[in-house]
Structure 1
């Protein structure tokens, strides 16, 4: 259990993170200030290993670092809960263009399956309409993200609130997106006919 810490980041890769496989881990009630820093693409909370399981990330506050950093990133998780976190990404200029960070990213290219994930009650804010609030990545080569529930999250800002991203061969199955609120951007991006049993209902988004 990792709980009750206050962390101010310098230029490291993650405020709380692991590169190795972990099981039965709780990360809760921490405050992580990335202080406008962290390496490019770094994360406030990061589980970079494959095949981690029974991971709970609950009640944390993460404030963004590098303009394209991720507040919370898990690569591959079986049976995970990400709930009631307060996340605020940074903004800035990279290569002459305005850039904003990502709130939650689940998956990465070439990862194995993810399944039985609950992402619920998180509040995610971006000061700029770039990037994605909740970014799922199906890793390709028949990688399947299945039994994923995105429930009652609030996303303010961003280009899209939720993105179901995929490499060639990646897909989604048994995904429920319900009760989420997007205040300034379209709710869901990158749906595909290759997906199975994706339910999107009872959400709120701006009129287009």
Structure 2
């Protein structure tokens, strides 16, 4: 009597992994959204009124950092590092969702998503390391502390705090890939996380 052996195709074997990645991507999207809620809440309740970030008055920013070192550390950790880590998971989850219907576009989109995540994480790390340096210098040489803050601000903004080119390209390519894969109807807006312009 012949015994039938059922074969599991590679695609079927990969379904549980893909499903788990989709769930992780959903959680990552919620985490990213939460970082924006926390970031905007801190900005509008504490940071905005302090004139922090003004390039014409760096002394105010240095004074604010000295008085709110821990708060700014947590703020940078949330809006940059936690956001960037979750973004890696989200970008990979979207790739897994779109790769069958738009393989080339989804690959390019994922590359930009990972680049954006790296830039954002690097920006947060520079910002947090810079806080300690500026606060330490402020107690010894105020002018040098202000110069250091200006330099660090330029690096932070250049990496990811002041422009969202990589993020904008990622959102655009994900949207196009979703349209091609049939995951996004024409005329509807993409559900991919976007931060077209940050006020912080």
Normalised by the length of structure 2, the TM-score is 0.22
Instruction: Determine which structure has more spread, i.e. the larger CA radius of gyration.
Output: 2
The structure whose residues are more often strand, as a share, is: 1
Structure with the bigger RCO (C-alpha within 8 Å, sep 6+) is 2
Normalised by the length of structure 1, the TM-score is 0.21
